[in-house]
């Protein structure tokens, strides 16, 4: 690496490490409920968002040349997206960011890609060309930083390109050095909320137009804003009620909405666990790695089709028999094999009904070689009802489950012994009755009529609603008031980029729940209501008595000061 590249990237590296202090801005001071707003947030892009940004800027082949170097997010209040506001980057991960940036920059300026990725050509490829470097870096910087580069920052990037080109006697190599520095900038890797006074409401602050564009785009598309959305921010259209409504309608009508909806439910359903999920091939030979990958895809296809394509009621996801089938899944489900992904409806006499009976849910919440009543019961409550089930107390005796009495044939019999422990009984009371209703499906998600030759009893109750079998559980869950309420909480937190603020969010959540119900529990209407809500764009500043943290300082800095702070300037 040249000394020039070391200087440029070394400054960016130090700035990125310093920027870690910006994450996790929150205010949990309590007090009476007030209007639902959030502090300015600084959150790290997810790996998927990073790849989406690269794809939009440089194309799929360039984006696929690197593995997203950003660290995994901690799951906070049920969402990885909420954990993005409290994540840091280690020095090793920073090194991976720099390596990825170097690879991407080299591809962008190589002979294969430069002619269609760089809109201009230098007068002399062996010398600096200030005008061409400025044209490319200005356009690229606008998309990568999700706002126009301030003049001072643009000038510094162009000077870096010029100086490197002169030293290396290669325009494209010099441009690559500047681009590499841009790609490791923390202000791009971190989604920084910048705020401004609301001109129509004295004393009230709101996200500036570009921050609002980013919040909308990451919410609805799980990707940075495109040119058209940035144009709407630049023109001021996005800060008017009419303009914002037009933009949101266009975003909801875009094919990119599918990526955003799938990303949300992939997060909400903890589907990142599928990256390491496996089943004992001796016990479940039909459930291969390909089967599990298709199980994840089946559920996401089902959700998007029913909620967006068919504009259905969210609650019907738990009672509908309509889904999609692949050849791998057909083997595991025991249905006729398909040629590829095809729509499929389970017959009325089938035990398969709704998301809970799909292989994705059944395998993700089971052991590698057996089912798990408690895992499934806990997952149902936490994923779909937003109810927290405590972890088991220390030193719990699991011997009755791990090495059970052979006379205890079914999970219900074994758990009755285990739950007799007073320290366990409370939690098992809310998990086991619903988990047991899924015992007709083994740890591989395949149907079984009996367990160890014994008849299975799948009756139970959920929060006062009695049922006799899985179909009854699905009906009870469909009508459970916490089901739509939980979705509203998750979508709102996902959209605003961080965990809920306790009682401060109550008024807004109650309003959103009422609107969701009035709209027939339709997801597109919920997305639109949140995106157009005052709470989505209004920002609550820290109290005057409390010193502003670094996150607030950056959020309120001038554009050029912010770029200097995060680019070693």
Write the pLDDT tens digit of every residue in 64-113.
999 999 988 899 999 999 998 888 788 888 899 999 999 999 999 999 99
DSSP string, 362-407: HHHTS-SSS--HHHHHHHIIIIIS----PPPPTT---HHHHS--TT
More confident residue, 441 or 7: 441
Contact 436, 376 (CB under 8 A): no
Residue of 543, 495, 533 lying closest to 216 (CA atoms): 495
Over residues 352-368, mean pLDDT: 97
Contact 66, 105 (CB under 8 A): no
Quick one: angle between helices 171-183 and 151-168, nearest 10? Answer: 140
Contact 17, 190 (CB under 8 A): no
Cα angle 27, 28, 32; round to 5: 110
Q: What is the dihedral of CA 280, 263, 311, 224, to 10 degrees?
A: -160
Task: Supply the pLDDT for residue 265.
Answer: 98
Phi, psi of 294, rounded to the nearest 5 degrees = -70, -30
Task: Supply the pLDDT for residue 416.
Answer: 61
Task: Supply the pLDDT for residue 403.
Answer: 53
Beta bridge partners of 325: 342
252: region left, alpha or beta (phi > 0 left; psi from -120 to 50 alpha): alpha
In this structure, of 37-46, 88-97, 192-201, 395-404, the range with the lowest mean pLDDT score is 395-404
DSSP string, 10-58: HHHHHHHHHHGGG---------S-----B---EEEPPHHHHHHHHHHHH
| pLDDT digits 0-9 by tens, 463-517 | 999 999 999 999 999 999 999 999 999 999 999 998 887 788 889 999 999 999 9
Task: Supply the pLDDT for residue 433.
Answer: 85
| pLDDT digits 0-9 by tens, 221-236 | 999 999 999 999 999 9
Residue showing tokens 């995060």: 566
313 DSSP assignment: B
Q: Using alpha carbons, list the distances in angstroms from residue 435 to 40, 374, 392, 475.
A: 41, 6, 16, 15
Task: Supply the pLDDT for residue 88.
Answer: 77
Residue of 558, 561, 154, 151 lying closest to 569 (CA atoms): 561
Task: Supply the pLDDT for residue 21.
Answer: 40
- Measured CA to CA, the distance from residue 252 to residue 46 in angstroms comes to 22
H/E stretch holding 280: none
What residue segments make up the domains of the chain, in order of their start?
A: 3-30+45-192
Residue of 4, 19, 118, 3 lying closest to 59 (CA atoms): 118
Residue of 285, 301, 283 lying closest to 338 (CA atoms): 301
Query: Which residues, 6 or more positions from 161, have their beta carbon under 8 angstroms from its beta carbon?
Result: 128, 133, 137, 174, 175, 177, 178
Alpha carbon of residue 397 to chain centroid:
36
Residue of 108, 111, 176, 179 lying closest to 149 (CA atoms): 179
Contact 87, 79 (CB under 8 A): no
Residue of 97, 70, 72 lying closest to 12 (CA atoms): 97
3 state DSSP class of 152:
helix
Task: Supply the pLDDT for residue 26.
Answer: 39
Contact 161, 174 (CB under 8 A): yes
In this structure, of 387-396, 410-419, 446-455, 476-485, the range with the lowest mean pLDDT score is 410-419
- Measured CA to CA, the distance from residue 197 to residue 203 in angstroms comes to 7
Task: Supply the pLDDT for residue 24.
Answer: 38
What sign has the CA pseudo-torsion 461, 467, 468, 469? negative
Contact 162, 128 (CB under 8 A): yes
Query: Which residues, 6 or more positions from 345, have their beta carbon under 8 angstroms from its beta carbon?
Result: 321, 322, 323
- Measured CA to CA, the distance from residue 565 to residue 190 in angstroms comes to 13
């Amino acid at each position: 690496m040249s000394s020039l590249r070391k200087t440029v990237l070394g400054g960016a590296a130090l700035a990125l490490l310093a920027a870690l202090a910006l994450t996790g801005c929150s205010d949990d001071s309590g007090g009476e409920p007030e209007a639902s707003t959030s502090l300015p947030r600084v959150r790290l892009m997810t790996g998927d968002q990073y790849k989406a940004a690269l794809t939009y800027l440089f194309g799929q082949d360039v984006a696929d040349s690197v593995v997203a170097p950003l660290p995994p997010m901690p799951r906070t209040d049920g969402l990885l997206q909420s954990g993005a506001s409290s994540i840091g980057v280690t020095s090793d991960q920073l090194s991976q960011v720099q390596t990825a940036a170097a690879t991407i920059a080299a591809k962008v300026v190589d002979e294969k890609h430069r002619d269609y990725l760089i809109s201009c050509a230098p007068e002399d490829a062996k010398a600096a060309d200030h005008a061409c470097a400025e044209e490319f870096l200005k356009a690229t910087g606008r998309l990568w930083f999700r706002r126009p580069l301030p003049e001072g920052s643009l000038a510094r990037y162009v000077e870096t390109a010029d100086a490197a080109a002169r030293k290396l006697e290669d325009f494209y190599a010099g441009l690559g050095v500047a681009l590499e520095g841009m790609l490791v900038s923390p202000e791009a890797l971190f989604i920084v909320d910048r705020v401004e006074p609301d001109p129509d409401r004295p004393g009230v602050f709101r996200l500036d137009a570009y921050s609002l564009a980013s919040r909308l785009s990451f919410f609805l598309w799980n990707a940075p804003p495109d040119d058209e959305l940035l144009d709407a921010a630049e023109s001021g259209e996005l800060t008017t009620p009419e303009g914002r409504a037009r933009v949101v309608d266009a975003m909801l009508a875009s094919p990119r909405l599918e990526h955003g909806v799938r990303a949300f439910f992939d997060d909400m359903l903890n589907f990142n666990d599928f990256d390491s999920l496996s089943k004992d091939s001796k016990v479940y030979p039909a459930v291969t790695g390909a089967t599990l990958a298709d199980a994840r895809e089946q559920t996401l296809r089902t959700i998007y089709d029913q909620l967006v394509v068919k504009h259905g009621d969210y609650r019907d996801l738990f009672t509908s028999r309509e889904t999609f089938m692949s050849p791998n899944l057909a083997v595991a489900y025991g249905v006729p094999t398909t040629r590829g992904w095809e729509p499929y409806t389970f017959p009325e006499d089938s035990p398969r009904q709704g998301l809970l009976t799909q292989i994705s849910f059944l395998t993700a919440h089971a052991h590698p070689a057996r089912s798990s009543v408690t895992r499934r019961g806990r997952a149902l409550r936490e994923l779909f009802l937003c109810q927290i089930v405590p972890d088991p107390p220390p030193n719990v005796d699991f011997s009755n489950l791990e090495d059970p009495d052979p006379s205890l044939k079914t999970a219900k019999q074994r758990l009755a012994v285990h739950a007799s422990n007073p320290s366990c009984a409370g939690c098992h009371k809310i998990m086991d009755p619903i988990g047991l209703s899924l015992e007709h499906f083994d740890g591989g998600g395949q149907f079984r009529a009996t367990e160890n030759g014994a008849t299975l009893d799948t009756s139970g109750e959920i929060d006062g609603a009695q049922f006799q079998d899985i179909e009854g559980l699905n009906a009870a869950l469909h009508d459970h008031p916490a089901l739509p309420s939980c979705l509203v909480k998750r979508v709102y937190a996902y959209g605003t980029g961080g965990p809920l603020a306790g009682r401060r969010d109550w008024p807004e959540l109650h309003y959103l729940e009422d609107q969701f119900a009035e709209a027939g529990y339709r997801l597109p209407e919920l997305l639109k209501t949140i995106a157009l809500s005052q709470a989505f764009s209004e920002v609550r500043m820290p109290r005057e008595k409390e010193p502003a943290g670094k996150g607030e300082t950056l959020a309120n800095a001038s554009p050029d000061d912010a770029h200097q702070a995060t680019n070693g300037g």
